[in-house]
Amino acid sequence: MTISNGAFDQLDASNLPEPVIVLNAASDEAASGAEHVTTPVAYDAILLASFGGPEGQDDVIPFLRNVTRGRGIPEERLEEVAHHYRAFGGVSPINDQNRELKAALEAELERRGVDLPVIWGNRNWTPYMRDALTEANQRGFTKLIAIGTSAYSSFSSCRQYREDYAIALEETGLGDTIKIDKVRQFFDHPGFVQPFIDGVKQGLLDVAAQGISPEETHILFATHSIPSSDAERSGPASRGFGPDGAYAAQHLAVAEVVMSEAAGVEKWSLVYQSRSGPPSMPWLEPDINDSIVELAGQGIKAVVIVPLGFVSDHMEVKWDLDTEAMETSEENGIFAVRVPTPGVHAAYVTGLVDLVLERRDGVPVADRPAMTDLGPWYDVCRPGCCENVRAGFKPALAGVLP
Ligand SMILES: CC1=C(CCC(=O)O)c2cc3nc(cc4[nH]c(cc5[nH]c(cc1n2)c(C)c5CCC(=O)O)c(CCC(=O)O)c4C)C(CCC(=O)O)=C3C
Ligand SMILES: [Fe+2]
């Protein structure tokens, strides 16, 4: 088995166009044994990789065009989503959150005496990934470890970031100069899960303060819906996770961990939000709003909404949960609390630094924290991981060749 930083890991590449680039081929797989773990690398900077968002009304449409290029999102959906951004002055909260996260990471790195600068680059808005790589090159950095602001396995949250790195290396012509690895998907890392546990405990106190009993309370774990075809292909092709793939399995496993900590309430479910795409295309269900209506019919009086799929309070949280799901709850006579996202919670920031250090210093799989049986996840994505049959083939980094 060869690991190739720049090679593509599409299983059936025979009828696809030649990969545009093959980068940094032949980084070697772990001497440490387990397929999850790679040999340590003396990284010289952290690449904070995120989604990006508009910073004013004039940015909204160009941003949405960037996000949806070639993705078959109907025009009506774009108008609908533009309206969400317009209601917030055309400014997505995501950029300020990444500025805060970058500052918090820098402070934590300094506190621990780790000399790794953080460079920030986005998929869909400035600073773009190519800007980040140009900056890294100017500052003389050649070995980057990427943290994507996304915890789970799916095309949008895993593979697309790996494609972003490959595209940006191609755009900047830095493919022979800069090597990019990524930290493992961290859905079950205690740094990511702890803030949700804290939040659910507080949410249940808020519910109790309303005089609503545990029997009348339901915990809704909310995440981004994705096309069923993406869900099916999330995670490595070789592991069976059921029809909704690693994406749903990971969320369910983390929700179980949170439930085991939030004693007193029994009822919970995993629900989806922010569906787009044409109605004819199946996406993961049920939608959170449909679930709230149904729960009201079953006599539920309170819901605790846990934004389990999200690392920070960006637009999908502010609009789809804090605006829409709150409205649905109110209309149906349900008291609703929304739990905070990890944001810059100390456990989360510390956890992200730990994830970098386990790669730099070489921590064996047995010593890597993971709160579910599914993890710790792979350092290098396995063959077929998080493929996307809708968007067609693109090269991606940090994957293993079949
Ligand atoms: C799994 C997942 C995450 C979580 C993991 C992660 O964080 O990556 C996520 C995050 C985000 N999604 C975001 C925004 C958007 N996502 C869109 C479209 C889509 N998202 C998808 C999936 C995901 N998205 C999918 C399958 C599509 C359809 C297009 C396609 O087939 O690939 C569209 C187009 C309009 C629409 O269709 O809604 C927008 C504007 C923002 C920024 C918010 C802000 O500005 O604060 C963030 C953090
Ligand atoms: Fe999205």
What digits encode the pLDDT tens for the residues 214-230?
999 999 999 999 999 99
CA of 68 to the centre of ligand 1 (A): 9
The residue extents of the domains of the chain are: 3-186+345-400, 190-338
Q: Specify whether domain 190-338 bears CATH 3.40.50.1400.
A: yes
Place of tokens 């910073």: 55
pLDDT mean over 269-279: 92
CA of 319 to the centre of ligand 2 (A): 13
Is 15 or 327 the better-scoring residue by pLDDT? 327
pLDDT value of residue 104: 98
Ligand 1 atom 19: residue of nearest CA: 276
SS3 percent helix, strand, coil of the chain, rounded to 5, is: 40, 15, 45
CA of 275 to the centre of ligand 1 (A): 9
Q: Confirm or deny that 345 is annotated as ligand binding.
A: no
CA of 226 to the centre of ligand 2 (A): 9
- The CB of 112 under 6 Å from ligand 1? The reply is no
107 Cβ contact list (under 8 Å, min separation 6) = none
CA of 316 to the centre of ligand 2 (A): 8
Q: At what angle do helices 190-209 and 245-261 cross, to 10 degrees?
A: 50
Q: Is the pLDDT of residue 4 over 60?
A: no
Is 246 or 9 the better-scoring residue by pLDDT? 246
- The CB of 307 under 6 Å from ligand 1? The reply is no
For the CA of 227, the nearest atom of ligand 1? 26
ipTM value of the model? 0.93
Q: At what angle do helices 190-209 and 346-361 cross, to 10 degrees?
A: 170
pLDDT mean over 42-61: 97
pLDDT value of residue 262: 80
Pocket mutation for ligand 1, best pick of 124, 276, 320, 341 (most atoms within 8 Å of C-beta)? 276
Mean pLDDT of the chain: 90
| Of 35-49, 213-227, 350-364, minimum mean pLDDT range | 35-49
What burial class does residue 214 get, using C-beta atoms within 10 Å of its C-beta: 0-12 exposed, 13-18 middle, 19+ buried?
middle
pLDDT mean over 344-368: 96
pTM: 0.92
CA of 339 to the centre of ligand 2 (A): 20
Which token pair is 127? 């600073």
Pocket mutation for ligand 1, best pick of 67, 163, 308 (most atoms within 8 Å of C-beta)? 67
The size of the chain, in residues, is 402
Q: Confirm or deny that 156 is annotated as ligand binding.
A: no
Q: What is the band of 70 on the pLDDT scale with cuts at 50, 70, 90?
A: confident
- The CB of 54 under 6 Å from ligand 1? The reply is no
Cα separation, 338 vs 220, in Å, equals: 9
Fill in the DSSP letter of residue 322: I
Q: At what angle do helices 94-111 and 346-361 cross, to 10 degrees?
A: 60
User: Do 190-338 and 3-186+345-400 have the same topology in CATH?
Assistant: yes
CATH number of 3-186+345-400: 3.40.50.1400
